[in-house]
Amino acid sequence: MEQVGGGGARSALDASPILEVDDLHTHFFTQEGVVRAVDGVSYTVNSGETLGVVGESGCGKSVTALSILRLVANPPGRIVSGEIRLAGTNLLSLSEKEMEAIRGNDISMIFQEPM
């Protein structure tokens, strides 16, 4: 990840990670075989930073975002490995009820076609 703009010194608190994605793998299991939609994505977003994810259609941008929010339809999709931490909390270890409390309050997504 390349940091653009900003400048200036940051305090130790400002530099603490807000979101950490480490070696994330999300696969879809279809009749035709396994689709590795997200295959080893890693990045860290610190306080005050903005992350933009760009790429060609079908490269895994939306599936990565859905994985972070734990909204990948299972089946056929599943996060098969990796870690996702929001302010130090491992989102992959939380129950669905705990994730519901986090979604929309601590982390959210604006969908391309919300209606």
Work out whether strand 89-90 and strand 17-30 pair parallel, antiparallel, or are unpaired.
Answer: unpaired
In percent, the amount of the chain with pLDDT more than 70 equals 85
With respect to residue 55, please indicate whether it lies within any of the assigned structural domains.
yes
With respect to residue 39, please indicate whether it lies within any of the assigned structural domains.
yes
Q: What is the pLDDT of residue 62?
A: 93
Provide the residue range defining the domain that includes 64.
17-102
Average confidence (pLDDT) over 41-66? 93
With respect to residue 12, please indicate whether it lies within any of the assigned structural domains.
no
Q: Which of 7-21, 43-57, 61-75 has the lowest mean pLDDT?
A: 7-21
Reported pTM = 0.81
With respect to residue 9, please indicate whether it lies within any of the assigned structural domains.
no
Q: What is the pLDDT of residue 80?
A: 98
Q: What is the pLDDT of residue 4?
A: 47
The tens digit of pLDDT for each residue in 69-111 reads 999 999 999 999 999 999 999 999 999 999 999 999 999 888 7
Exposure pattern of 99-108 as b/e (b: 16+ CB <10 Å)?
A: eeebeeeebe
Q: What is the pLDDT of residue 113?
A: 72
- CA pair distance 112, 104, nearest whole angstrom: 16
With respect to residue 113, please indicate whether it lies within any of the assigned structural domains.
no
CATH code of 34's domain: 3.40.50.300
Q: What is the pLDDT of residue 115?
A: 63
Q: For the chain, what is the domain count? A: 1
With respect to residue 90, please indicate whether it lies within any of the assigned structural domains.
yes
Q: Which of 10-24, 51-65, 67-81, 89-103 has the lowest mean pLDDT?
A: 10-24
